Amino acid sequence: MSLFSSPSPKFFWITLIVFSLSYYLLIAESTTLHTTSPPPPKPCKKNPYEQLNLILNDNGTVTRGPMPPESPPAPDPSLPTKVLSNDLTINKSKGTWARIYLPRETLYQNSKLPLLVYFHGGGFIYLNPATTIFHEFCFNMANDVVAVVASIEYRLAPEHRLPAAYEDAVEVLHWMKTNQEEDDWLRYYADFSNVFLMGSSAGGNIAYNAGLRVTSAGGGCDLGIPKIQGLILIQPFFSGAQITGSELRLADDPHLSLCNNYAKWDLSLPVGADRDHEYCNPTAGDGPKKIEMIGRLGLRVLVTGCDGDPLVDRQMELTRVMEMKGVKAVGHFTAGGYHGVQVQDPFKAKQFYEVVKSFISTLPASY
C-alpha cells in the first residue's frame, strides 16, 4: 500500500473534527473578554479598603488616611520657572476648582494655545490637582506640548457617587467658557475652539463620560461650553462584570490588584449598580450606540496604555469598538509598564507628551 494513498472517509472526518475543535479553542483563547466563566480570582489576601488606606464609615462616607504630598501653585511671573500655575475656584459650594498651567514663553507671544482640560486619577475616591505627581505631570505637559492645561478638582466618591464627577466636568467647561473674561490666562492665551478633554485612570473615565454628555447635547452648543475637538484617555479606568485576560493575568498586580479595582467601583458606582453599568463598562448595553455619537460629531479619540496594566484589554477593546463605530480613534499601546506609569514615570510621561503633541497638531489651529 502506498505511503501517500488516500485516507479513508472515516479518518478524514475524524481529522476534520479534531482540526475544527482545535481552531475553535485557539480563537476562544485569543478573545480579549472571557465569554465563559473563567477560573475565579484568588481571594483577597487583605482587606482591600485597608490597602487603599480607607476606613468605611456607617454613614456611607470614608475616612481617608495620609495622602501623597502636594505642591503649591506658582503664579508669580518673576519666579524662575518654565510654567506658571494658578488656582481658580469653580463652584465653592461643591468644592470644585481648577489649577491652570501656562508656559512662560506664552506671555511674550500673541498667539493662543490649545486648551487641555485634565482630570486626575485616584479611583474616583481620592487625590486632587495639587497632588505632586499630577502637578508635575501637568507642569511638564504644558511645557512640552506647549498648551494651556486646566487640571480639575471634582467631587469624590463615595460621598458623591457617579455621575457627580461627570456633572462637575461639564460644569467646569461651561464655567471656563462663560467666565474667561475674569481670568487673563484663559482669556488671552487659551484657544476655546481647540479644546481636548484628557484624563488619567479614573480621570480618563471622566473625560470619556463627559465627552458622551457633550456629544448627546449636540456637541455642547446647548450646554454653552467650548468647542471640544477630541478626547485623550490615559490608561482609562473601566471594568465589567466579566473578567478579562489581562485582569486575570495581573490579578495580584501591586499597582492595581483585582480586589482594589472592584473595591473602587463598589465605592463609586450608584448604589446597587453592577460593573456592567454604563459608567463602568462603555461597551455594555447602549454603550456602542453612544459611541456612534462621538463618531458623528467628528471627535477624535486617543487611548493610551501598556500591557503591564490589568486594564489594557478593556482599553484595547474600547478602541476597537470605537473604530468599528466610525470614531477617529487612535490606540497607542506599549510593552511593559504598569497602571499609572504614564503619569508617574518621568521618561514615560515625556514620551506621552510627544504622542499628545502629534495628536493635537493634526488639527489646524484657529485663533
Q: So which residues are the catalytic ones? A: 201, 309, 339
Burial class (CB in 10 A: 0-12, 13-18, 19+), 336: exposed
Give the alpha-carbon dihedral of 300, 304, 307, 311, to 10 degrees: -80
The count of other CB atoms within 10 Å of the CB of residue 238 is 24
